[in-house]
Amino acid sequence: GDSVTQMEGPVTLSEEAFLTINCTYTATGYPSLFWYVQYPGEGLQLLLKATKADDKGSNKGFEATYRKETTSFHLEKGSVQVSDSAVYFCALKQSNDYKLSFGAGTTVTVRA
Amino acid sequence: SAVISQKPSRDICQRGTSLTIQCQVDSQVTMMFWYRQQPGQSLTLIATANQGSEATYESGFVIDKFPISRPNLTFSTLTVSNMSPEDSSIYLCSVEVQNTEAFFGQGTRLTVV
C-alpha cells in the first residue's frame, strides 16, 4: 500500500536558519502530495500541496517540489522564525481515493 | 474552504466511561473523517462517516468501540466507548472539499485516567 516516510525529529534550529524536512513516498501512479502543519494545541492546517510531477507548492516562505524520479517532496524554508515552531506532516492522496496517508511527523523548534 | 468546530477541545475521563465528540462544519460535505493521533505519533484514520449510511471503519477499529453518527451533511459525532488509558489521544475530525483539500478541526485532547 501507499506510505510516507519522513525525516525523524525533533529538529531544533536558530532563527533565520535554513530548514529542510525530507519526505519520500511509496505509491502507485501519481498521487497528490501535501505538507500539513500542526501548531501547538491546534489541529492540522494545509501548508502547501502539489498535484503532479515537477509542481512546486509554496506558502509562507515554505516550498516543496514534487520529484517523481526520486519519489520525494522535501519541505524547505530559507529563514525560519520562532513562529514556525510546529509539527510538520507529509501526506499523500491518490486521485481515486479519499484517504490521506500521513508520515510520522517532524517536530521543529526554532529558538530566538 | 471549510471551518470545523470540534467539542470538547479537551477532557479527562475515568476509565470505563464513554465520551462523545462533536464535529460541526460550516458547509455541507459528503464525507467526514475521524482520525486518532496517539501521543508523539502520526494520524491514523478511524472511520469515514457518510450521511444516511453506516460509517466505514478502517482495519483495527470497530463500531462497538467507536460508534459514529452522521445525522446530516454538516454534523457528526464520534463516541469513544468503555475507555482505557490506551485511548488517550487527540481525536480529529476532517472533511474534504471538492476532492482537493482536507480541512481539520482543532482536535479533542482526551486523557483517560
> What are the strands, taking DSSP E only, across chain B?
4-7, 10-13, 19-25, 31-37, 43-50, 56-57, 68-72, 75-80, 89-97, 101-104, 108-112
Q: Summarize pLDDT for A33-84 with one digit per residue, the tens.
A: 999 999 988 888 999 999 999 999 999 999 999 999 999 999 999 999 999 9
CA distance B89 to B20: 14
Q: Summarize pLDDT for B23-77 with one digit per residue, the tens.
A: 999 999 988 999 999 988 889 999 999 888 889 999 999 999 999 999 999 999 9
CB contact under 8 A, B45 and A44: no
Q: Closest Cα of chain B to A103: distance in Å?
A: 6
Q: Summarize pLDDT for B72-106 with one digit per residue, the tens.
A: 999 999 999 999 999 999 999 999 877 667 899 99
- Residue B67, preceding bond cis, omega within 30 degrees? no
What percentage of residues in chain B have a pLDDT greater than 70?
98
Joined grid coordinates for residue A78: 530559507
Nearest to B102 among A42, A100, A104 (CB): A100
Is B107 part of the contact surface with chain A (CB cutoff 8 Å)?
yes
**Which pLDDT score, from 0 to 100, does residue B53 have?**
83
Chain B positions in Cβ-Cβ contact with residue A49 (cut-off 8 Å): 101
